[in-house]
Amino acid sequence: MISRRDFLQVGMAASAVLGASGFGNWARLAAQQSLTQDQLLEFDTFGNVTLIHVTDIHAQLKPIYFREPEINLGVGAARGHVPHITGADFRKLYGIEDGSPSAYALTYNDFDVLARSYGRVGGMDRVATVVKAIRSARPDALLLDGGDTWHGSYTCYQTAGQDMVNVMNALAPDAMTFHWEFTLGSERVRELVEGLPFAALGQNIFDQEWDEPTEEFPPYKIFERGGAKIAVIGQAFPYMPIANPRWMFPEYSFGIREDRMQEMVDEVRAAGADLVVMLSHNGFDVDKKMAGRVQGIDVILSGHTHDALPEPVLVGETIIVASGSNGKFVSRVDLDVRDGRMMGFRHKLIPIFSDVITPDAEMASVIDAQRAPFESQLSEVLGQTDSLLYRRGNFNGTWDDLICDALIEEREADISMSPGVRWGPSVLPGQDITREDLWNVTSMTYGKAYRTEMTGEFIHTILEDVGDNLFNPDPYYQQGGDMVRIGGMGYAIDITKPQGERISDMTLLKTGEKIDPAKSYVVAGWASVNEGTEGPQIWDVVESYIRRKGTVTVTPNTSVKVSGA
Amino acid sequence: MSLTRRDTLALGIGAVSLAALPLRANAAVDDAIAAFTGGAAVSDGGVDLNAPEIAENGNTVPIEVGADGAAAIMLLAAGNPTPSVATFNFGKLAGAGSASTRIRLAGTQDVIAIARMEDGSFKRAQANVKVTIGGCGG
């Protein structure tokens, strides 16, 4: 593990790259109720170039609660390194006081208590305030969006991404890359991309038939900023046709395409780029591996795995910046770029405390306009919750436990499955559950809830397959989601074993019997990647369940036994 | 660490079953390589083999092979029931010793390329391609 001090020393030893992170400890200020916008934005402008990074917004226009993961296990070389450090260990690593605003923003402990004192986070009107403030200090700052922007809410679904396009156009990024956007279907993606006033980048977005680069998604764009030439190379999510339904964007192929990334870096360097930035939707561990293998990238702006890190991670002379998700953070990176190289940086992960940062009025009105046609649908109360509802974590979250319970009861199944996605805000105990809350954790273009029979052997194969996508020790074989969530069945997993040997002790919870490989079980699930999946939409299934219960209570889930962590 | 008799038995069974499966596949691969090389030594490296880490569709996986100065390149899918995929022969008029094709992979496995160079030596590259059910990324 690189400690903060090591990090600085490594930086100095490795090269002229000098770094500093403006990571504040605001505990005392907050105790005095005096945490201010100025303190959150405080930054001594440095060097000649500024990058602003937002990523994985998942269509969250309004402030939300978002609990960070308790369980985020690393395997192989990643074991015990950020971002695979959570809770008290994370606070210790970065010197964060228990109960402080940073503890609330970056770790999971006492979440419901801290959420009540520090309030909601995010909101694109607050993000706009932060972006404008940075631009007033550095008017030619580059704003870069790492993707997963046009997905994840009721209004985004109903407008097929138009609400987010309108809001982001008002925020005026300089470039963007992609993942869930493609689940709008390739035709809609092309339609939206054609109208974008900024660059849609992806060096790894290929034509499927000819295995050649596409015209719609150029690999990079070179900007002139602060007297320097800055190349931004896009890297879309490599495993879209595997993790999401391939039939929705059959014309496209993705992949890591490391060799081409190197070619693109060499090409932009030859074209005179002084600074090479990779705008990535690889996921953190993949970015880390790529940083060590592709030569000549100065800055990786990392997305997909939703990690929020208060300091960049240094690999060789490349810094990797991870900016969280759901609009909860904005990263500011100031760089000293001279003589064709990055000489130093200053970085700050800015948490968007929605009660501290004043909403930008212009953006607030753009957001209101997107939501106005749907306001009565969004605000309709479906029920209440007694429990904290959250999703993030490798194995289960209470939102998914609730969804799995709903699938078993509403669809009369033995076992239920919910995809291990990392998006979806939290709801506090005692709060109403609105339709907006439910759609924030379920909305997608392939949300139909299937009901089918699977043998015990096939269920085992699925768990092994997904387990290897998460725990393969080689990051290039990881897809970046979490483990598929299971209702009605317990199992044990040894994350250090190879595929085929990780999962054991599969037990049907309602009878306590071992799962029989040869026997068929009724399984209800959603988000199948297969074309032609039939069933009701998942949000209708869960809405009906919540309405029937009135108040939902989710008991702690202890049905997954993890070893090897 | 102390090994009980049961542990020893379990280890033994594990080792046997692990050894049994790949052997059969490897025999066909080894036979194909021996037939191509005539038993000559094969050195690692010097062959570019471009394959996806995870196949987007196991039924049609794009593979590129190339080696400067290759007279022929044999491509094998080590885990397929029939490992032989293709042998590309490059004549004197060939612009480059490289080829691309799409192959079907029965499951996660190694793809192997053996190049016969113009000087009669042999070079080898291999890549592991994963074939997965997928569906839960996010």
User: What is chain B written as a DSSP string?
Assistant: ----HHHHHHHHHHHHHHHHHHHHHHHHHHHHHHHHHTT--EEE-S-EEE--SB-S-TTSEEEEEE-TTEEEEEEEETTSSS-EEEEEE--TT-S-SEEEEEE--SSSEEEEEEEEETTS-EEEEEEEEB--------
On whether any CB of chain B is under 8 Å from the CB of A241, the answer is yes
pLDDT band at A217 (very low <50, low <70, confident <90, very high): very high
pLDDT tens-digit readout, A75-123: 999 999 999 999 999 999 999 999 999 999 999 999 999 999 999 999 9
Binned at pLDDT 50, 70 and 90, residue A498 comes out as very high
Contacts of A421 in chain B (CB under 8 A): 136-138
Chain B residues lying within 8 Å of A240, measured CB to CB:
137
pLDDT category, A223, cuts 50, 70, 90? very high
Q: Smallest Cα–Cα separation from A74: which of A302, A238, A285?
A: A285
Sheet holding A485-487, edge to edge: A449-455, A520-526, A415-418, A485-487
Contact A481 B132 (CB under 8 A): no
Nearest CB neighbour to A244, from listed B53, B100, B137: B137
- For A25-82, write each residue's pLDDT tens digit: 444 455 445 689 998 999 999 999 999 999 999 999 999 999 999 999 999 999 999 9
How confident is residue A1, by pLDDT bands cut at 50, 70 and 90? Answer: very low
Based on its alpha-carbon atoms, the radius of gyration of chain B, rounded to whole angstroms, reads: 18
Torsion of CA A358, A362, A366, A371, to 10 degrees: 40
DSSP A527: -
Q: Does A55 touch chain B (CB under 8 A)?
A: no
Reported residue count of chain A is 565
> Cβ contacts (< 8 Å) between A253 and chain B: which residues?
56, 62
Average the pLDDT over A255-275 and give the result: 98
Decide if A311 contacts A320 (C-beta within 8 A).
Answer: no
Tell me which residue in B57, B130, B135 faces A419 most closely, judged by beta carbons.
B135
Mean pLDDT across chain A, nearest whole number? 93
Which residues, 6 or more positions from A90, have their beta carbon under 8 angstroms from its beta carbon? A82, A96, A106, A107
The pairing of strands B42-44 and B122-129 is parallel
Cα separation, A352 vs A146, in Å, equals 17
Nearest Cα residue in chain B from A483: B136
Q: d(Cα A441, Cα A528) in Å, to the nearest integer? A: 16
**Which span out of A7-16, A333-342, B90-99 was modeled with the highest average pLDDT?**
A333-342
Whether A251 contacts A441, CB under 8 Å: no
Rounded average pLDDT over A402-411: 98
Inform me whether the C-beta atom of residue A239 falls under 8 Å from chain B C-beta atoms.
yes
Q: What are the tens digits of pLDDT across the range A467-491?
A: 999 999 999 999 889 999 999 999 9
Structure-model confidence comparison of residues A30 and A239, the more confident one: A239
Strands B84-89 and B70-77: antiparallel
B50 touches chain A (CB under 8 A): yes
Cβ contacts of A354 within 8 Å, gap of 6 or more: A63, A119, A120, A121, A122, A123, A126
In 3D space, the residue among A275, A276, A274 whose CA is nearest the CA of residue A262 turns out to be A276
What mean pLDDT comes out for the span A317-336? Answer: 97
Tell which A residues from 323 to 362 touch B, by Cβ distance under 8 Å: none
Which residues of chain A make contact with B57, given a CB cutoff of 8 A? Answer: 241, 246
**What is the value of ipTM here, to two decimals?**
0.86
Q: Which residues contact B1 (CB under 8 A, 6 or more apart)?
A: none
Task: Check if B57 contacts A (Cβ < 8 Å).
Answer: yes
Q: Closest Cα of chain B to A147: distance in Å?
A: 12
Residues of A in contact with B135 (CB under 8 A): 242-243, 419, 466, 527-529
Tell me, what's the pLDDT at A192? 98
- Report the side by side order of strands in the sheet with A341-351: A18-21, A341-351, A329-338, A49-54, A142-145, A175-176, A199-200
- How far is the C-alpha of B138 from the C-alpha of B135, rounded, in Å? 9
d(CA A236, CA A149): 13
- Pick the residue from chain A with its C-alpha nearest to B128: A477
pLDDT given for residue B20 in this prediction: 36
Q: Is A6 a residue whose pLDDT tops 50?
A: no
Which one of A183, A210, A242, A248 makes the best mutation probe of the B interface by having the most chain B beta carbons within 10 Å? A242
Chain B nearest C-alpha distance from A470 (Å) = 9
Helix H or strand E encompassing A453: strand A449-455
Say whether the peptide bond before residue A83 is cis (omega within 30 degrees of 0): yes
The DSSP bridge partners found for residue A396 are none
State the SS3 of A24-77.
CCCHHHHHCCCCCHHHHHCCCCCCCEEEEEECCCCCCCCCEECCCCCCCCCCHH
Closest of B111, B49, B115 to residue B79, by C-alpha: B111
Using CA coordinates, name the residue in chain A closest to B135. Answer: A243
Instruction: Look at A469 and B62 and tell me if their CB atoms are within 8 Å.
Output: no
Asked if B130 has any chain A CB less than 8 Å from its own CB, the reply is yes
Distance, CA of A277 to CA of A266 (rounded, Å) = 13
Q: CB-based contact (8 Å) between A457 and chain B?
A: no
- Contact: B54, A477; criterion CB under 8 Å: yes
Residue B13 forms contact with A (CB below 8 Å): no
- Evaluate whether A407 touches A416 at the Cβ level (below 8 Å): yes
Q: Tell me which residue has tokens 């030893």.
A: A13
DSSP letter string, A241-273: HHHTTGGGSTTEE----HHHHHHHHHHHHHTT-
Decide if A242 touches B, using CB distance below 8 A: yes
pLDDT in tens, A435-457: 999 999 999 999 999 999 999 99
Q: Is the CB of B53 inside 8 Å of chain A's CB atoms?
A: yes
- φ and ψ at residue A215, rounded to 5 degrees: -80, -35
By Cβ distance, the residue of B53, B57, B135 closest to A477 is: B53
CB contact under 8 A, A420 and B138: yes
Return the residue of B nearest to A147 by Cα: B138
Check: CB of residue A275 under 8 Å from CB of residue A298: yes
Give the number of residues written for chain B. Answer: 138
Contact A246 B138 (CB under 8 A): no
pLDDT at B92: 86
Question: Is the minimum CB–CB distance between B108 and chain A shorter than 8 Å?
Answer: yes
Decide if A479 and B54 are in contact by the 8 Å CB cutoff.
yes
Cα separation, A528 vs A448, whole angstroms: 8
Query: Residue A18: its pLDDT value, please?
Result: 54
What's the CA gap between B61 and A128, in Å, rounded?
Answer: 44
Strand-pairing partners, residue B111, are B77, B127
Phi, psi of A247 (to 5 degrees): -65, -15
Nearest by CB to A481, which of B50, B100, B136? B136
Distances (CA, A) of B61 to B55, B56, B99, B103, B106: 6, 7, 14, 5, 11
Helices A162-171 and A124-137: angle between axes, nearest 10 degrees:
20
Contact between A486 and A299 under an 8 Å Cβ cutoff? The reply is: no
Contacts of A336 (CB under 8 A, 6+ apart): A46, A47, A48, A49, A342, A343, A344, A345
Range 503-532 of A in CB contact (< 8 A) with B: 527-529
**A253:B56 CB<8 A:** yes
Residue spans of alpha helices (H) in A271-382:
284-293, 361-371, 375-379
Residue A16 has pLDDT above 50, yes or no: no
Q: pLDDT digits over B74-127, tens only? A: 999 999 999 999 999 999 888 889 999 999 999 999 999 999 999 999 999 999
Average pLDDT, chain B: 83
Phi-psi map region of A185: left, alpha, beta (phi>0 left; psi -120 to 50 alpha): left
**A393 pLDDT higher than 80:** yes
Residue-level pLDDT at B133: 79
What's the pLDDT at A352? 97
